[in-house]
Structure 1
Amino acid sequence: MPTADPATPVPEAPQPPPPARRRIPLTRGPGLIALVAGIAVVALGVGLVLGRAVLPSSAAEPPAPEAASITAPLETRVISSTITARADVTYADAVDLDIDVSALSGPAVVTGRVPEVGAVVDAAQVIIEVAGRPVIALPGELPAYRSLRAGYSGPDVLQLKAALVSLGIDPGDAANDVYDARTAAAVDELYRRAGYPSPESSPDARRAVESAERAVSDAATQVAAARSAVEAAGAGVSAAERLAADNAVRQAQREFDAAAAAGESQAQLDTLADAVELAKARRAELDRAPNVSDQQASLDSALAAQNQAEAERTRARDDALTPLLSSEVRYLTSLPRRVDEVSAKRGGTLTADAVSLSGAAILLDGTVSASDAEHLVAGQPAAFVTDDGRELQAVIREVGDEADGDEKRRSLLLDPVGVDQQTMDALRGKNVRVTIPIESTDGEVLAAPVAALTAGPTGESRVTVADEASGEEATVAVTTGLSAGGFVEIRGDDPRLEAGARVVVGR
């Protein structure tokens, strides 16, 4: 084998290639899990190191502050349970002046007494003048659906009599539903007070009265004549006739006695005895009552005619009594009334809406729920608030039936109390909030916020009294009363229960 030249580099023997490393896929399987775990461990270590470097140790952290109690003071107040509603301020019972003018002979022209807006109309006062005649306001619910005259009867007559009685005018028997002479006389008085002459009866009625008066006068003359005849027939003979008859009896007796003394024949004596009996019989006739049957029959007939004439005169007079014309009266359910609107003008024709009337007093007209209405009665006090925050007083007038067809609501009417007219006029047409107390404490009581009450282990009521100076708190048992408006009446013997003491209402 030849020797290698030391100056010549000898090539190294070729090395076998290193074995190829196995690549583990990192996107799935155990490789991914290992990678994620490693990163997490490294991140945790780094975080701990940085945390110790930046933040103070846990031993140096201050304790968290305790939550402070929320307190409220005890108060002395009147606690009331109330019902709240809304109501419109309005005049009561607005109505239009609808008048039955069918009885008028001509057009219903307004001739005077046109009222002014704001005027007050009371009972027996004239609302307006139509065709020279008044329209008089009277209290009542029934409309004047017909004119009333003597002999008429019905509920409208009773209403008229009741209205007259309320005015201090006597219409006769107010329970009798017949329009009679006393009723007509009362209507005369009504018109006298109104300042107008009473309505006149018809010309035919007046003529009938005149004819009946003449018939009664004629009948009275006939009765007088018949009565004179009866009296004359019943008077009998005069005293002179009786004396003459007595003398005739005595003369006949004397003649008989003289003949007997002279011894006249028996035939002559018998004749003279017959003359004596005849004279006595004639004298006896004068003592009997006279026969006046014919004259009495004439008198009875005359009296019957007179009675008939007087009855006819009564009927004629009744027909001519003062009537009450339907066009001259307007019944209103309540009086006085206030004139709200006037469209009528003197010289114009009366229309149904010529004058609009309402109650003279303002009321509150609202609604409440049916359930709340069960707690309300007429006469119950209430209050309402004005726009400027003033609280005014009211009283419930009426709790009605369904409001506007809603079976879940009830109508509610209230009357303001002690409120001047100027204030009410300013409130008219506005909607106000009404509060009605349905239960109340008897004066001021010690009251706590409802949130201050807690229940003890045996169910007793408690409050926690907080001493703000010392920060101490004490739980005190209390007896509760009425609760309303977020407050509850409390009672207890603990001296710490006093107005101004603070109680815990929250943490």
Structure 2
Amino acid sequence: MGNESTGGEAGNAAAGGTGVLVRRRRLVLAAALAAVAVSGGGLTAAGFVQSPAQAAADTRAPRPSVLTAPVQLQVLRSTVVLRGTFSNGRTVSSLPSSVATTSATAPGAGAALMVTGVFVHQDQKVAAGVPLVEYSGRPVFVLPGEIPAYRDLLPGATGKDVVQLQKALESLGYSTTSDNSGTFGHATKMALTRLYEKMGYPPPVTGAATAATVKAARQRVDALRSQAAQASVRIASTGTASSAAGAPAAADGSPTQGSIKHQLAQAEEDLAQASALDGTMLPASEVVFVPSLPARVVSVPVAVGDPVKGPVVTLARGAMQLTGMLDPSDQGLVKAGMSVQVLSETSGLQTTGTIDSVGSLVTPGAAGTGTADPGGAAVAGTGGAYLPLRIKPVHSWDSRLAGQDVRITLTAASTSGAVLAVPEAAVLADAQARTAVTVQDPSGAQRTVTVTTGVSADGMVQVTPTSGTLHAGDRVVVGQ
């Protein structure tokens, strides 16, 4: 019994020792955790504590960086791109206002003019002496000449427009050389008559008034010739000589032979004058003069059966014209003779030309200025001031470009081969007003190289070193 009591006490003592150990271990662990927490807090707090020197260092501006770009070896081309408009140039239209007489009888008064034939179409090229349109049975045709048909050309007329008509007839093979230049005489009438017959139309004539004058003059001549013949018979039968030319009448009261001859000579002169003013003429309603042939048809706004209420055909008096609109700031880059490339984005057509002339500044909307090009067509798409460039074709312009807005590209300057080129920002002027670039070596060291500049294009400029060395691949300073 006593032994059992002793064993229980020993077990309790052992259990109590184990508990003490556990509590001690817990105390040690807690102390360690507290130490770690204190150390971490100290480190964190230390991170927010700076010395005055460190604070100054942290607030100092960063060391500036250097921006560089490589020197390149390339061909430079400076191009200028602008807009342009094709126009028909100067045009001339035929607007018939009357029907010509083709015999001694005048046409019916008040008859409405009617389109009776259309023989051409838009953009067609036409030659001289060929009917284009027909109205009320009469042709409209073209002849070469600068002076518009501003009046009917009648026999006996004189002037520069008659000279023009005679030259036009001569160019078609109809001679007028027996007439004085500038005088609408018999030869000109005959040449014009042949032209109308070739076209298949009766020639227009001056009309009933001149025909009646000729008829009366001819009757007068015939009567006097009859009297002269009777006087000759009377003299032959009586054997008496006629009185002097100035005597008004013979003894029996009849006109003397001399008087009759005098009157006959005057009557024949009157007949010649009347005949000179009668016959074939050229109505202004039937002819269109253009400076050069073949002429291009701009429009034919009528069809057979239409009444004539406006132009029946419009022709370009010259070739199409291209006018470019140059930004005034590019004036120094452009001069006459430069080649240009022309592109129509609408049709895809491309062609080439050269600058013929550079016009004076045009400011749309300003007093005394306009936006019409020298060819008479309005310039499209002009919003600000521009310099009009007249551009001529290397060959003739394609008629499909008429009226189109196009892109014009010209090369203002170009290097003959590959040259050293740097960004424009790399070129600076030094104190002596010399241009130079700054080269940065791989080590960061910098050196100045003076240069001369040449062609610039797309932000790059040609440079040629005048002191120091410069090679493709070197890096030049463009900014900091």
TM-score normalised per structure 2: 0.63
What is the rounded CA distance, in whole Å, between the counterparts of 2:397 and 2:446 in structure 1? 52
The alpha carbon displacement at 1:114 in A equals 3.8
What is the rounded CA distance, in whole Å, between the counterparts of 1:294 and 1:115 in structure 2? 70
Q: Contact between 1:111 and 1:130, CA under 8 Å: does it hold in 2?
A: yes
Instruction: Return the structure number with greater helix share.
Output: 1
What is the rounded CA distance, in whole Å, between the counterparts of 1:383 and 1:409 in structure 2? 19
**SS state at 1:312 partner:** helix
Question: 1:415-450: CA deviations, max 9, x gaps?
Answer: 4434873xx62x55542233456x646845736343
Q: Contact between 1:393 and 1:417, CA under 8 Å: does it hold in 2?
A: yes
Matches of residues 223-372 of structure 1 in structure 2 within 5 Å? 294=243, 300-332=258-290, 335-358=293-316, 362-368=320-326
The alpha carbon displacement at 1:322 in A equals 1.1
What is the rounded CA distance, in whole Å, between the counterparts of 2:90 and 2:429 in structure 1? 54
* Matched AA of 1:453: V
The alpha carbon displacement at 1:137 in A equals 1.8
Q: Contact between 1:149 and 1:179, CA under 8 Å: does it hold in 2?
A: yes
| Pairing 1:476–2:449 present | yes
Q: Which residue of 2 aligns with 1:89?
A: 86
Q: Which residue of 2 aligns with 1:454?
A: 428
Q: Contact between 2:179 and 2:186, CA under 8 Å: does it hold in 1?
A: no
| Pairing 1:99–2:96 present | yes
Q: Contact between 2:290 and 2:318, CA under 8 Å: does it hold in 1?
A: no
Worse overlay, 312-321 or 103-112: 103-112
Matched length = 395
**SS state at 1:198 partner:** coil
Matches of residues 215-230 of structure 1 in structure 2 within 5 Å? 215-216=220-221, 219=224
Matches of residues 51-450 of structure 1 in structure 2 within 5 Å? 51=48, 67-79=66-78, 82=80, 84-93=81-90, 96-101=93-98, 105=108, 106-140=111-145, 143-154=148-159, 156-161=161-166, 163-164=168-169, 170-172=175-177, 177-206=182-211, 208-213=213-218, 215-216=220-221, 219=224, 294=243, 300-332=258-290, 335-358=293-316, 362-368=320-326, 381-387=339-345, 392-396=351-355, 406=366, 407=369, 409=386, 411-418=388-395, 421=398, 425=400, 427-435=401-409, 440=413, 443-444=416-417, 446=419, 448=421, 449-450=423-424
Q: Which of residues 42, 46, 51 in structure 2 aligns to 1:49?
A: 46
* Matched AA of 1:107: A
Q: Contact between 2:126 and 2:294, CA under 8 Å: does it hold in 1?
A: yes
* Matched AA of 1:329: V
Question: 1:87-107: CA deviations, max 9, x gaps?
Answer: 223443455542233656433
Q: Which has the larger radius of gyration?
A: 1
**SS state at 1:69 partner:** strand
Identical residues among aligned pairs (%): 31
The alpha carbon displacement at 1:317 in A equals 1.4
The alpha carbon displacement at 1:109 in A equals 1.7
**SS state at 1:126 partner:** coil
The alpha carbon displacement at 1:330 in A equals 2.5
What is the rounded CA distance, in whole Å, between the counterparts of 2:225 and 2:454 in structure 1? 91
C-alpha RMSD of the superposition: 5.0
Structure 2 segments unaligned to the other structure (5+ residues): 1-41, 101-106, 247-255, 370-384
What is the rounded CA distance, in whole Å, between the counterparts of 1:206 and 1:457 in structure 2? 95
Q: Which residue of 1 aligns with 2:16?
A: none
What is the rounded CA distance, in whole Å, between the counterparts of 1:102 and 1:149 in structure 2? 15
The alpha carbon displacement at 1:69 in A equals 1.7
**SS state at 2:259 partner:** helix
What is the rounded CA distance, in whole Å, between the counterparts of 1:457 and 1:371 in structure 2? 29
Give the 3 Å change call, closer, same or farther, for CA 491–377 of structure 1 in structure 2. Answer: closer
What is the rounded CA distance, in whole Å, between the counterparts of 2:338 and 2:186 in structure 1? 46
Structure 1 segments unaligned to the other structure (5+ residues): 1-44, 232-290
Q: Contact between 2:128 and 2:142, CA under 8 Å: does it hold in 1?
A: yes
The alpha carbon displacement at 1:349 in A equals 1.7
Q: Contact between 2:439 and 2:476, CA under 8 Å: does it hold in 1?
A: yes
* Matched AA of 2:128: A
TM-score normalised per structure 1: 0.60
What is the rounded CA distance, in whole Å, between the counterparts of 1:314 and 1:412 in structure 2? 57
What is the rounded CA distance, in whole Å, between the counterparts of 1:113 and 1:390 in structure 2? 30
Q: Contact between 1:396 and 1:414, CA under 8 Å: does it hold in 2?
A: yes
What is the rounded CA distance, in whole Å, between the counterparts of 2:274 and 2:213 in structure 1? 6
